[in-house]
Amino acid sequence: MTANLICVGVNHRTAAVELRERIAFPAETLEANVREMASLPGAEEAVLVSTCNRVEAYVCGSGTGLDLLDRVTRRIAQSRGVPLEKLNPATYRHEGADAVRHLLRVSASLDSLVLGEPQILGQVKEAFQNAREAGTVGTLLTRVFERAFKTAKRIRTETGIARNAVSVGTVAVDLARNIFASLADCLVLVVGAGKMGTLAARHLAASGAGRVWVTNRSSERAVKLAEEHGWEAKAFSDLSLLLQQVDIVITSTGATRPIFTRDLLQPLMPKRKFRPLFLIDIAVPRDVDQDVGRIDNVFVYNIDDLESFTKSAAEARSKDVERASAIVEAEVEQHLRWAQNLAVTPTITALRRHATELAAVEMERTLGGAAANREVLERFAQGFINKLLHDPMTAMKDPGEGERLAAAARQLFNLTELVVIESEGRADGDQRSQDGP
């Protein structure tokens, strides 16, 4: 069954921010797109994860792994208007156990730009909830995502991965501290009061930033964030005036097009007397146009530039990573066993029913209508069936060979029709459990 789980994705390791911002799905389109993923030929269930550092589609279905991988990859390219030949080299494709393992590592922030950051788990949970509301998850994806959440909790509890955990927002502040010996003498402008902007603001406060201005298209959110730290909120319409005075800009908005352009900043540099301006852009799509970095004394850092600042922290926690990876492998093994049991249960049930029915026929032929010794023979028959089928049923539950052996059992004992009946009964039961009584 796990062979039917696939993952197609692009992340910060495989694609530059220029490509990631092109294929990121706007929040308002996620529901429609995840439904289209689930309606692809051979697909039955789908979850779509789209964050600043990754876009991933998790799909379950009856289609063969390679066909489903190709269809999902093409669907991502078509929906985002990206040529397939441009997307393919940056895409990773997992199926079966590898797809399960990848999801567990992503949810536990072992695959994040910033090791141990807590935001990704919330983003994966939100993606799963969106898919549930869109009606595109069933038994398989529900189980594997719930296992991913459980694994992430285990890792945060049993290892030091989450200790002193940081985020992209906090790394952005650390980069600013690397540029300036002290933030106490700098004037910092935070543009955007969303999740990343809020995290960056908290780390700025903890880092001793002296003067901070906050601006946002929604003035209420800017005022709230500024008041939380005793800073000043500024009108977004005054952005040009603000840029004439500040030393550092940390920007993370939800804008679909760059806010900071060459046309905006070039005329401001003489008014700044050509003092250096540092723009740290942690938004995807980017808030700062790439041409801005060509202006003299304007220095631009985007989300990809932050990676080198996270490597030393990851190396320092290498033992925690090893322990976390071991937890992931144990959870993957458990999931594989569950999925294997799910896949072969109809065959096992059909085999037991077949043996029980044969025993009942032979007992009736032996006893006729006589009641004498019937109870004794029934106990004998049940015990004999249990012992006879124990080893075959155990073998069919093996993740490696189980499905092959189950197929052989169906052929040897002519169980195909019985298995179909059992599978349909299980499907009806699963549907009733989801729909309620």
Of the CA atoms within 13 Å of residue 14, those in its CB half-sphere come to 16
Please enumerate in sequence order all residues whose Cβ is within 8 A of that of 230, keeping only pairs 6 or more positions apart, or say none. none
Does 52 qualify as catalytic in the annotation? yes
| Residue located via tokens 């999931």 | 335
Cβ atoms of residues 313 and 307 within 8 Å: no
**Which residue(s) pair with 235 in the sheet?**
216
Rounded Cα–Cα distance for residues 148 and 331 (Å): 8
Euclidean distance between CA atoms 131 and 428, whole angstroms: 21
Q: Which two tokens stand for residue 271?
A: 């008014």
Q: Which amino acid is at 222?
A: A
Query: Among residues 7, 52, 60, 186, which one is catalytic?
Result: 52
Q: 347 by DSSP, 3-state: which?
A: helix
Length of the chain: 437
Q: What Å distances lie between residue 75 and 6, 33, 40, 88, 437, CA to CA?
A: 14, 9, 9, 12, 37
Catalytic residue positions? Answer: 52
